[in-house]
């Protein structure tokens, strides 16, 4: 796959997707959103790819925000359409992907950049990372799921404060709040994420995909997370992975999963 604004490398069943607009601090524009959608869609269908790591190029920014120049003159209808299409194509799409996605936040993650990181299944930050939702300082609000995912991750009160003050927080503050799982020196960020990916890959890909679905169900309107869990739990019993996992446990050996 060749793209204008993103790079993809795949090795040892791990794909690394890098947003590559360093002169724009990797700002999200429509082209980049479309390219990321295509990349994630293709990678999710590749059985060889078991974990995806998403990061930004350079040492300054993961994604410094949306490309404001693209929508500064939009109408009400165009603004609504921008948010709806972006959420469907990328942010909701990543959140519901069967393949685990780790955000390697290597610098500024602001506005759409933080929203993108929050749509990933969890986040690891470099020690120089800074995060925030500055949209209200531009007379608008987060439109790519930020007002929904941030309270889910850090609680309503903290999220309200971050959104209303448009303040940036450090990696340490993000870690204390539970917004990121780990902080590491920037030079070690990708290697650390690869280490976590390798731990994930020791387990059943089928079970992991079901676990993602069950956890997400708790946050979806009209979904009963417990019922989703019960069905997903039952579905696992009909798989080769379950047979292999339980047999390996009883035979006191390491399981070799196929994802089937």
91 contacts 144 by C-beta, under 8 angstroms: yes
Contacts of 80 (CB under 8 A, 6+ apart): none
* Whether residue 135 lies in the annotated active site: yes
Contacts of 162 (CB under 8 A, 6+ apart): 132, 133, 150, 154, 169
27 contacts 66 by C-beta, under 8 angstroms: yes
* Whether residue 115 lies in the annotated active site: yes
Choose the catalytic residue: 78, 88, 135, 161. 135
Contacts of 247 (CB under 8 A, 6+ apart): 255
Choose the catalytic residue: 115, 161, 173, 244. 115
Place of tokens 């799982």: 181
Residues noted as catalytic: 115, 135
């Amino acid at each position: 796959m060749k793209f204008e604004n993103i790079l993809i490398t795949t090795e040892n069943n791990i794909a690394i997707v890098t947003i590559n607009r360093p002169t724009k601090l990797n700002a999200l524009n429509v082209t980049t959103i479309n390219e990321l959608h295509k990349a994630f869609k293709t990678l999710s269908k590749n059985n060889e790819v078991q974990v995806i790591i998403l990061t930004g190029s350079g040492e300054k920014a993961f994604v410094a925000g949306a490309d404001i120049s693209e929508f500064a003159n939009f109408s009400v209808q165009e603004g609504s359409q921008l948010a709806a299409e972006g959420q469907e194509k990328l942010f909701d799409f990543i959140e519901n992907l069967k393949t685990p996605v780790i955000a390697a936040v290597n610098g500024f993650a602001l506005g759409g950049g933080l929203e993108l990181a929050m749509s990933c299944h969890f986040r690891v930050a470099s020690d120089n990372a800074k995060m925030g939702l500055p949209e209200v300082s531009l007379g608008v609000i987060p439109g790519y799921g930020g007002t929904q995912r941030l309270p889910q991750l850090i609680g309503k009160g903290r999220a309200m404060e971050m959104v209303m003050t448009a303040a940036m927080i450090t990696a340490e503050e993000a870690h204390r709040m539970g917004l990121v799982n780990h902080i590491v020196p920037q030079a070690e960020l990708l290697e650390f994420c690869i280490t976590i990916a390798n731990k994930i890959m020791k387990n059943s890909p089928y079970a992991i995909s079901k676990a993602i679905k069950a956890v997400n169900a708790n946050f979806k309107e009209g979904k009963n997370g417990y019922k989703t869990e019960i069905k997903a739990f039952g579905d696992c019993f009909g798989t080769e992975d379950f047979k292999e996992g339980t047999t390996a446990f009883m035979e006191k050996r390491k399981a070799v999963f196929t994802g089937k």
